[in-house]
Each structure stands twice: as C-alpha cells, then as structure tokens.
Chains A and B, each alone.
Chain A
Amino acid sequence: MLCIDIQARQGDLSLQVNTRVANTVTALAGPSGCGKTTLLRVIAGLTPSQGLLTFNDVTWQDDTIIVPSHRRRIGFVFQDDQLFPHLTVEQNLRYGMERAQAAGVDIALTLAEVTAHFDLHALLKRRPATLSGGESRRVNIARAVLSQPQLLLLDEPLTGLDNKRKAEIFPYLAKVTRELQIPTLYVSHINDEIAQFCENMIVMQHGKLIDQGATAEVLPRLWREPLESDRSLSEAGSLINASVSRFDPIYSMIHLQVADQPLQVIGPKMPETSQIRLFLAAKDVAIALQRPTDLSIRNTLAATVRAITPMQGETPGLVAVELRIEHPTEPQALSAHITAAACDALLLETGAHVFALIKSARISTPSIFEG
C-alpha cells in the first residue's frame, strides 16, 4: 500500500494528491501536463515535495524524515532512455542488482532469469548506443526489474516507439505487470495500454486526482470526467476479458470468446486459451434490436441494457448506454455511446435485450498491431 498526501510545485503545475494505492498494477492516466510524471518523480524522491509518503508502512517522507531515492528501493523506467552509455548492457543490468545485493536485499530475480525473461542474451556485450529503440527500452525495464524494486515506476514505457517496436516490447511489459508481482505505477494516456496492463487506475487533471478505481469501472465512466485536450484518454470505453479460441491464418484473424460469445479481431497468432484484455471505445459500439445479417461488422454480442444516461457538456445529443454481456458466472460490462435520436428511435429502455455491434477493424490493442 502506497499512501500519498503530498503537495509540490513544478513550473506552472501545482500538484496536490491525497490517495492510497494498493499493491497492484495501477495506471496513472490523464492529459499531458497533468502532473503524472511529476507525481512519479515525487514518489521516487527525485522532485522535492511537502507532505507524507509511506510505502507498506515505511515512511519515505514526513515533516522530519526524507528517505533519499537510493534507499527507497524503487525501480524507475524513464520516458527517455537512461542507460549508462559507457557501460555494456550487462554492466547496466548489474548496476542496480549489485547495489541491492550490497544493501542486503534478497535477490529474488537473478540476472539469468531476467535475461531469459527479456530475451537479452544476444545483447549483453553490446553498448547502449548500438541498440535499437525497442531493445534499449527492454534493457531499461529489465535493469529496473533487476534492482529488486519493491515498487516499480514506469513512465510511459511505450512512448516514442512506433507500432512495430511497441509490439516488440509488449509481451515483456505483460510479463512484468502480470507475472512478477511487483507493485507498479504505470503512467500512460493510452487506454489500450491501461486496459491491457493495469487492474486499477488513477485519473489526474491539473495536478489533482479526479477519479480512481478498478480499470474496468473507471474506463466506461471516463466521459463523465471533465477531461480536456487529450482525445485518446477522454475516449471512454470498456475493458473486455477474452480468451483465444483459435487463429485463422488466412484472414489473420484471432477468434475470441467473450462470455461464451464469439468475437473476432485482427491480430497475430496467439496461443489458444490465452487470456487477453481488449479496450473497446464506447463510440465504436453500435446497438441493434435484432441480430443483423449481411453486414460488414463481424461482431454481434447479445447484451442487456443496464442504464441509459444522457451525456452533458461537450457532447449533447449523445447518450451513454451501459450494457451487460450476460454470463452465469462472469458477465461483462460494455458501454456504447449512441445518439439520443437513435436511442429514442429504438425505444431503448433498461432491461431491453439488444445486440452490440463491434467493428473488428476498430479493435486495437497494442499487441495486435501488425509487426
């Protein structure tokens, strides 16, 4: 548990955050300039702040103590690569690990394990200057993980990479966030990434926290937040859990099961039964009263209307329709934003049985980007 109650000033930004963050993978989202990176730096002890900061009941900062960065046992992956150019990849990797060892920390993740996890074997003797952008990012993440952090801080680890490179890093980030069990704060403003990696999320604006909760709950209600400027984030949507049933190599389509209903998306071959998470933007979901035929849209999911809320503010004329994909044990929530006119024409009301139409081509997760 990370307890934050801090104030900090950085240029024009006045950061004021008071919250608790569970030891899971938590997204720190919000428009650019909202203070995400500053908050991360405050937690790391790199940017001075006033207030309280404790992690797992150990005080990192209060009125009398400030634990310096190097004693907080954090792993930090900076937005811009910060490998030491005068050291080889292996020396970079060992840098944090050796210091953790010297400080008497148990080495839970060994160099061999992490090298294998991140496929770094061929890179060990190379210098950072000879690495590609994707390779370099991988080494950065591996180095942070190897320092045996009790808290991992990732500052937009996929930023600045093209889709091909993102797809390259993606599986490694998935390993870090899902398998290694390190509490992580993941700064991002991309809903796809957040849906993929983060169980919880915090939404910030103008240096303040404006929403917090489980990702599956926060993503659909993002439209309620008075978020500015950042289109990708203000795009509300749903987090859908799906399992892979098969891969169709002819059309390059992955066949998925969502609450026992089929869903098809374009993407690379994935092992059968593997679980993936998808972000479906609410604007990309249409509603029909009957299962349509002769349509280019491949996906129709039977669902029940749970709530209909007219949207205010910037988008008058739209309604947010909360749907539930029924399932005896694992129902899933899905939101659709449609026009109020369409809603009235369909005579939609709570409890109605409808079909959610999702265009396969609109579904993207970073892992599904073409390589």
Chain B
Amino acid sequence: MNEFSAILLTAKLAGITTAVLLILATPLAWWLAHSRHRLKPAVEALTALPLVMPPTVLGFYLLLLFSPDNPFGGFWVALTGSALSFSFHGLVIASLIYSLPFMVQPLTAAFGQIGKRPMEAAATLGASPWNAWRTTVLPRTRNGYLTAAVLTFAHTVGEFGIVLMVGGNLAGETRVISIAIYESVETLDYAQAHLLSVGLLIFSFSTLLCVYYFNRQFALSLGPRSAS
C-alpha cells in the first residue's frame, strides 16, 4: 500500500536523521556552549540558518550541490555509483542540515546550564575527559537529549519544501508523508489527504505535548538564539 510505504519511509528518514545528529550535534553543541572563540557567533548563526530561511532556498542550493556536475555530487557518484539528487541518501543529508538547529539548540542550552565545572571537578578526581563527560554531564542532560531528539524527529517528519526540492516524489525512495499529502490534494483525493494530515497533526501535537510535559525547564526556542 502506497500510504503505508510513505509512513515507513518517513519514520526511517526521521530515525536515521535523529540518530546521526545525536552524534554530530553533541560536539558542536558542547563547543557552542563553552567556547569563547571569535568565530562562535558565525557558527551559531550558520547553525540557526535553517530556522529562518525558506526551505526552498536551502533545497535549491542542495539540489545544485547534489548534482553530479558539482564536485561534491560528482564525488558521491564516483563513490557510490548513484546520484544524490532524488535519492533517499540525498534526503538524509538534506534532513541533517535542515534539522540541525533542532538538535543543537536544546543540547547547547543543556550543556550551558551545567557548565564546565563538573568536568573540572571530575578531572581532579582522576577522570579522563571522556569519562568525566560521560559520568557527570551526560546523566544530567538526559532531558536536553530527549527534547532535542523528539524535536528533531518531529521536525524531520514535518518538513516539506526541501524534501520536494531535493527528493521529488519517488514511491519507496523519497515519497514521505508530507509529499504524499501534497500529491493526494493535487489529485483531489481529499479523503486520503485528511487521513494522513490528521495522523500527522495528532503525532506532532502529542510529541510536543510529551516534550513540554516531561521537560519544563528547557524553554524551546524555535527562533535564532542570541549568543549566550
């Protein structure tokens, strides 16, 4: 069934994006929370860019980047034998970029709240940096991680513009729920559009409800954050 494969694909995309971003965003968020580097505001702005830019702009540039004529796109083709544009892999890379702030911002806030002092205390007690981080920072940022993961997952599920630009509408490859809804409306199949839309609405509301309910101490700033 077409719609079922769209749901499955969406979950797969959001799951992979969330997992990869958990790993990539952690060091970035740690750096943003603690660095005093002069380039920090620039990195902060760059990270927050997907929040304010029209998805089509990002999608447009990603499409150019993914093109086999582009060095990066060409390199990918040489590496894997297939192009990134209109492929699931391309969709994953696009998702990593446009969902980045949703992962980085809650983590930065969580790390900033804890500060570096516990790491210092742990070091004087004989803990190596990684060990210190794992035993003093990670257990205390679980809520931050939960918020970040849920928001990233939900936002990836809900994205439309970039997906349409970069992925197109290939069943089983790039046809995620938001695209399926768009297609249903285009073909005047309102019943189908309703079904998926209501499902997405309930999903989004309940995930946000969970985040806000379990996790009141983190104000979710969905706009660009001022430097802290």
- Residue numbers of A with Cβ under 8 A of B are 44-46, 68-71, 73-76, 78, 80, 82, 84-86, 95-96, 99-100, 103, 143-144, 147, 153
Interface residues of B in 106-146 (CB under 8 A from A): 117-118, 120-129, 131-132, 135-136, 139-140
- Complex contacts, B136 vs chain A, CB 8 Å: 84
Whether the pair A69, B121 counts as a contact (CB closer than 8 A) is no
User: Given contacts A84-B136, A85-B140, A86-B139, is CB(A73)–CB(B120) below 8 Å?
Assistant: no
Whether the pair B126, A144 counts as a contact (CB closer than 8 A) is no
Give 22 CB contacts A-B under 8 Å: A45-B123, A46-B123, A68-B128, A69-B120, A69-B123, A69-B124, A70-B124, A70-B128, A70-B132, A75-B124, A76-B124, A78-B121, A80-B117, A86-B139, A95-B127, A96-B125, A99-B125, A99-B126, A100-B126, A144-B125, A147-B125, A147-B126
Closest residue of chain B to A101 (Cβ to Cβ) is B126
Whether the pair B122, A78 counts as a contact (CB closer than 8 A) is no
- Complex contacts, A147 vs chain B, CB 8 Å: 124-126
Complex CA distance for A38 and B165, rounded to whole angstroms: 55
Most chain B beta-carbon contacts within 10 A, residue among A73, A80, A96 = A96
Complex CA distance for A303 and B139, rounded to whole angstroms: 63
Whether the pair B121, A70 counts as a contact (CB closer than 8 A) is no
- Complex contacts, A103 vs chain B, CB 8 Å: 126
- Leading 4 A-B pairs by shortest Cβ distance: A96-B125, A99-B126, A76-B124, A82-B121
Complex CA distance for A95 and B122, rounded to whole angstroms: 8
Please give the distance in Å from B144's CB to the nearest CB on chain A.
13
Complex CA distance for A82 and B124, rounded to whole angstroms: 11
Complex CA distance for A144 and B122, rounded to whole angstroms: 10
Closest residue of chain A to B120 (Cβ to Cβ) is A46
Closest residue of chain A to B142 (Cβ to Cβ) is A86
Closest residue of chain B to A71 (Cβ to Cβ) is B126
What size tier do the contact residues of chain B reach? 10 to 19
Whether the pair B124, A44 counts as a contact (CB closer than 8 A) is yes
- Complex contacts, A84 vs chain B, CB 8 Å: 118, 121-122, 135-136
Whether the pair B139, A76 counts as a contact (CB closer than 8 A) is no
- Residue numbers of B with Cβ under 8 A of A are 117-118, 120-129, 131-132, 135-136, 139-140
Complex CA distance for A99 and B131, rounded to whole angstroms: 10
Complex CA distance for A153 and B123, rounded to whole angstroms: 13
Whether the pair B118, A73 counts as a contact (CB closer than 8 A) is no
Please give the distance in Å from A42's CB to the nearest CB on chain B.
13
**B121 in complex: contacting residue of A68, A76, A86, A100, CB < 8 Å:** A76
Please give the distance in Å from B21's CB to the nearest CB on chain A.
25
Complex CA distance for A338 and B128, rounded to whole angstroms: 56
Seed contacts A71-B126, A84-B121, A147-B125; 13 additional CB < 8 Å A-B pairs: A45-B123, A68-B128, A70-B127, A70-B128, A76-B124, A78-B120, A82-B117, A82-B120, A84-B118, A84-B136, A95-B122, A95-B135, A99-B131
Whether the pair B123, A86 counts as a contact (CB closer than 8 A) is no
- Complex contacts, A99 vs chain B, CB 8 Å: 125-127, 131
- Complex contacts, A143 vs chain B, CB 8 Å: 125
Whether the pair A74, B121 counts as a contact (CB closer than 8 A) is no
- Complex contacts, B135 vs chain A, CB 8 Å: 84, 95
Whether the pair A82, B118 counts as a contact (CB closer than 8 A) is yes
- Complex contacts, B120 vs chain A, CB 8 Å: 46, 69, 76, 78, 82
- Complex contacts, B132 vs chain A, CB 8 Å: 70
Complex CA distance for A136 and B15, rounded to whole angstroms: 43
Complex CA distance for A63 and B59, rounded to whole angstroms: 50
**B123 in complex: contacting residue of A70, A80, A85, A144, CB < 8 Å:** A70
- Complex contacts, B118 vs chain A, CB 8 Å: 82, 84
Please give the distance in Å from B123's CB to the nearest CB on chain A.
4
Whether the pair A68, B123 counts as a contact (CB closer than 8 A) is yes
- Complex contacts, B121 vs chain A, CB 8 Å: 76, 78, 82, 84
Complex CA distance for A45 and B123, rounded to whole angstroms: 9
